[in-house]
Amino acid sequence: MSWFTRANLLLNPSEFVLGKPGLGKSTIVRRQALGLAGYGVNPVVFGDLKPDYVDLIHALDGQVITLGRGRGYLNVLDPGEVTEAAERLPMKARTALLAEAHGRRLNAVASLVTVLRGRPPTDREESILNTALTVLHDRHQGVPVMADLVRLLQDAPEAVRAVALDRGDMNRYRTITEDLEASLVGLLGGGRLGELFAHPTTEAMHHDKPVCFDVSSIDDSESQLQAAALLACWSYGFGAISVAQALADAGLEPQRHYFVILDELWRVLRAGRGLVDRVDALTRLNRQRGVGMAMITHTMSDLLALPAEEDRMKAKGFVERAGMVICGGLPAAEMPQLTEVVHMTESEQQIITDWSTPPSWDSDLGADSAPPGRGKFMVKVGGRPGIPVQVELTPSEMRINDTNRKWTAT
C-alpha cells in the first residue's frame, strides 16, 4: 500500500502470494499486516481456516468472529451496518450504498447456490432472486433470514411471477422456481452446508478495528462448507468496508484503510463452475476503496486446475492484475505456467525452485531443521528484477506465528 500511494511503484495496491505449504506464506502476510497496523491500516482476514491470523488479531486488540457448525452463524441477507449508515447519508450516497448492499446480497445468495450445485444459477433464476430480494427488503420488518426468502418465493408475489415469465399460470411458476427453491431449502440447515447461513448473524463485524473471521472449526473434509463460508465472509466483510468508506466520503467518519487477506483462494475457485466471476466481482474495487488486498494460494496449478477454460483464464487474471507477486519456494514444473503471467529470468526461476528443496534427512539436525526455503520469498513488481527477501521474526512475533501448535508437545 505504501508502494502504491507514496512511491507510485504499483498500479494497484494488491498482491498475489504463491508458495508450497510450510514455507511461510502466512508468515510474510502477517508481517505485512502487523507493519501496516502500525501505520493505522486495519488488517481484516475474511476467513481463517487454520487459524493462521487469530493470534495476531487478538494481539492487535481486534475482533475475532467465530463461525462454524454450532459455533456461530452468518446471515448473508443481513445488511450489517448498512441500514443505520444509510440514514446518516445524503440521498444520492444513501441510494448508492443501498443498491450496492442489494447487489452483494444477490451475489452472496447466488454464490451459495453455486457451491451447492457445482454450477451457477441460470439467468432466469438470478432475475427471480434479484426481484425476490427487492420485494423481501420492502416487505420484511427487521433483518430477514434465508427461510423468509424461501417463504416469499413460495408465496409467489406478482413482481416475482412477472420476471419468472409464468404467463399467468401458477403451475408453470412452480415448475420454473422448483430447482431454485430446492437449492435455497438446502441452505436452511438440512443440506451439506448445515445451519451456518440459516440463522441471524451471531456477531456483527465492526469496521473500525482489525477483524478475523475464524472458520477453523470447519474440517477439510467439508470442502463445500469451507468454500461457502469463505465466500460469505468475503461478501459480508467487503460490505462492512463499503459502509466505512461511504461514511468517510460523506465526512461523517474518518477515512480508514484496510488490508484485506483472502487466504486459501483455491478452495473457493474449485467449489463450482462460475465462482471465479463471483470472486472477481467482490474484489475488483480495492483501488477505489482505499483497500489493499492479499490473495494467497499454493501454486498456479491450483488456479489452472479448474474444469472450464474460461474460468482458468479469469483465474490467471487474478495474478496478472496483481500489483505485486510474491513467490516462495515452487517446484520447477510450476515455472512455465507462472512465467506466462510474471516475467522471470532463468536465475530468478532457479532461486525459487531451489527454495522448494525439502530439508535434510540428517537426524543430527534435530527438530529445528527447516526447509531451505522457509521464510524466503521473491518480490516481483511489473517487469522489474525480483527482490529476494528473508523474513526473520522478532521475539514478540514468535508467539503469534506458531501455526503448528497442535503438534507441539505440552
DSSP assignment of 280-299 equals HHHHTTHHHHTEEEEEE-S-
Both 399 and 336 in one domain: the answer is yes
Q: What type of residue sits at position 138?
A: D
Are 193 and 217 in a shared domain?
A: no
Contact yes or no for 121/180 (Cβ under 8 A): yes
On whether the CB atoms of residues 132 and 152 are closer than 8 A, the answer is: yes
Check if the beta carbon of residue 326 is closer than 8 Å to that of residue 380: yes
Do 57 and 88 fall into the same domain? no
**What is the distance in angstroms between the CA of the first residue and the CA of the last residue of the chain?**
40
pLDDT of residue 196: 93
Domain-embedded: residue 181: yes
Cα separation, 47 vs 78, whole angstroms: 18
Domain boundary pick from 200, 226, 256: 200
Q: Residue 264's pLDDT is what? A: 84
Q: Using one digit for the tens of pLDDT, what is the confidence trace for 39-58? A: 999 999 999 998 999 999 99
pLDDT digits (tens, 9 = 90+) for 146-184: 999 999 999 999 999 999 999 999 999 999 999 999 999
Residue 403 lies in a domain: yes
Q: What is the Cα–Cα distance from 1 to 12, expressed in whole angstroms?
A: 8
Query: If you average pLDDT over residues 368-374, what whole number do you get?
Result: 78
Residues 159 and 139 in one domain: yes
Looking at the fold, whether 92 and 103 belong to one and the same domain comes out as yes
Write down which residue in 200, 218, 239 finishes a domain: 200
Spatial contact of 200 and 73, defined as CB atoms under 8 Å apart: yes
DSSP string, 129-165: HHHHHHHHHHH-SS---HHHHHHHHHH--HHHHHHHT
Q: What letter represents residue 64's amino acid? A: V
Residue 217 and residue 341 in one domain: yes
Number of domains into which the chain is organized: 2
Closest CA to 87 of 95, 79, 77: 95
The residue out of 155, 176, 200 marking a domain boundary is: 200
Residue 205 in any domain: the answer is no
Give the burial string for 18-33 (b: 16+ CB within 10 Å, else e): bbbebbbbbbbbbbbb
CATH number at residue 291: 3.40.50.300
Same structural domain, 115 and 133: yes
281 and 349 co-located in one domain:
yes
Give the residues across from 378 on adjacent strands.
327, 388
- 371 and 235 in a single domain? The answer is yes
Among 183-192, 215-224, 282-291, 315-324, the minimum mean pLDDT is found in 282-291
Helix ranges (DSSP H) in 208-274: 223-249, 265-269
Query: pLDDT tens, 243-302?
Result: 999 999 999 999 999 999 988 888 888 776 777 877 776 666 555 667 899 999 998 888
Average pLDDT score over residue span 338-347:
92
Do residue 179 and residue 328 come from a single domain? Answer: no
DSSP, residue by residue, 1-32: -HHHHTS---SSSEEEEE--TTSSHHHHHHHH
Residue 394's identity, in one-letter code, is: T
- What pLDDT sits at residue 404? 61
| Domain around 88 | 76-200
Instruction: Kindly indicate the confidence band of residue 405, based on its pLDDT and cuts at 50, 70 and 90.
Output: low
* pTM, to two decimals: 0.90
282: in domain: yes
Mean pLDDT of the 91-107 span:
93
Residues 219, 352, single domain; the answer is yes
Residues 381 and 246 in one domain: yes
